[in-house]
Amino acid sequence: MSNLSNKTERKALKALSKTLRFFDELRDLDMTACDDYDASSAQILIHGILQANGYMAVHEPGKGTRLMKQADYDRWLNTKKQQHENELL
């Protein structure tokens, strides 16, 4: 599966982050309660792995999935909020 190491390399985190967008497709599909719980648990675990390594995953349609450091993510999120507020004015 993987080579055990003291640090998870960014390439592995990027591969995990790319899987997160597929969980969004499950929202409109019928699943058993057990399968829904397992899928939700997997999504939470992947987010946890990324966050434990100081990263956040952002998927933008047409642009793909970006892996950002937490500080970069916070700046990106503030920029998006500002853009949204400007659009409302």
Q: What is the pLDDT of residues 33-54, one digit of tens each?
A: 999 999 999 999 999 999 999 9
Q: pLDDT tens, 52-85?
A: 999 999 988 888 898 999 888 888 888 888 888 7
Say whether pLDDT at 86 is over 90.
no
| pTM, rounded to two decimals | 0.77
Residue 37: is it exposed, middle or buried by C-beta count within 10 angstroms (0-12/13-18/19+)?
A: exposed
Rounded Cα distance, 55 and 70, in Å:
5
Question: How crowded is the C-beta side of 75, counted as CA atoms within 13 Å?
Answer: 5
* pLDDT at 81 (0 to 100): 82
Task: Judge whether 56 and 68 are in contact, CB under 8 Å.
Answer: yes
- Please state the domain extents for the chain: 10-88
